[in-house]
Amino acid sequence: MADYLIAPDPSRAGLTRPVQGRDEHGRLVDLSVVEERPLTIYLNRQEIVTAMTIGDYPEYLALGFLRNQGMLLPDDVVTRVDFDEELETVVVRTAVETSHEEKLQKKTRTSGCAVGTVFGDMMEGLENVQLPATPVKTSWLYALAHKINRTPSLYLEAGAIHGTVLCHHDRPLVYMEDVGRHNAVDKIAGWMLSEGVSASDKILYTTGRMTSEMVIKTAMMGIPVLASRSGFTAWGVEIAQQVGLTLIGRMKGQRFTCLSGDERLERDIDPKTVPQEEKKHRRKGEG
């Protein structure tokens, strides 16, 4: 845990709720379930979207969502971010007023959970994206998977949640979770924007599948490497190859599959020397 700048806190009040149920034998079981709550995001005076979220880091979520949807441009100066817990709203204020009526009418639904929208302008913007050819050592990938899989998380506490981790070489930096995988990515994007963090030497690790939405968000953030324990979609692979994104999936134990950017991988460790993945810990309430 010492490596992380931000890590999940399963004990944080308000993120989970204790419930009782009965298992297949009719026995009483106690477990935790993840909370969901709405968060309405405003850009200046304009309501943009209402997202379902677990409720942590609302300011980062709002900033990252607006940046990843192309509503906050690099030249825009954010003057304030105001979160009202009672009203469940975040207002992002910029130095110059903005209007996105046209963009709000031009949506393409994606396979993400909760909000799950990517605007047409983002798709068009990909034509101008070419990511840096950042080299990646396979020893970093194995080390990251080992550390991340052993980090206490809401997933291990309650399940029903996605995780995304911003990494540098073999060090995980920021680990965000949410009910929608895109929410977790947006939180990281918001943190990077707030802290002025460079993306060109980073790796983004996700626990979920690598869909077109995940690939687009990663590319628009300027991160050159996306890795996951899960699999790919065809459109996600096609976009990754188009923008020069290194795409690595099915990372389990000694194995992984690279479908884009293999020429940027430095295989500096024999997979046979990597310990086999241990059986995952059971979540609370499982027999």
Two tokens at 84?
């009202």
Q: How confident is the model at residue 70 (pLDDT cuts 50, 70, 90)?
A: confident
**Would you tell me how many other CB atoms lie within 10 Å of the CB of residue 182?**
31
Element (H, E) at 177: strand 171-178
Question: Mind listing the domains of the chain with CATH numbers?
Answer: 1-287 (3.40.140.10)
The residue whose two tokens read 């949506």 is: 107
**Edge to edge, what strands does the sheet with 162-168 contain?**
171-178, 162-168, 202-206, 225-228, 246-252, 255-260
Is pLDDT above 90 for 287?
A: no
* Residue of 56, 221, 256 whose CA lies nearest to 132: 221
Dihedral angle at the C-alpha atoms of 73, 75, 76, 81, nearest 10 degrees? Answer: 90
> Which pLDDT does position 262 carry in this prediction?
98
Sign of the Cα torsion 135, 136, 137, 138 reads negative
* Residue of 256, 132, 109 whose CA lies nearest to 200: 132
pLDDT digits (tens, 9 = 90+) for 177-197: 999 889 999 999 999 999 999
Contact 171, 139 (CB under 8 A): no
Q: What is the pTM of this model?
A: 0.89
Element (H, E) at 254: none
Average pLDDT, the chain: 89
Q: How confident is the model at residue 97 (pLDDT cuts 50, 70, 90)?
A: confident
DSSP state of 232: B
Out of 72-81, 109-118, 178-187, 203-212, least confident range: 109-118
pLDDT digits (tens, 9 = 90+) for 107-134: 543 434 545 455 555 666 677 888 999 9
> Which pLDDT does position 101 carry in this prediction?
55
> Which pLDDT does position 286 carry in this prediction?
47
Mean pLDDT of 72-83: 94
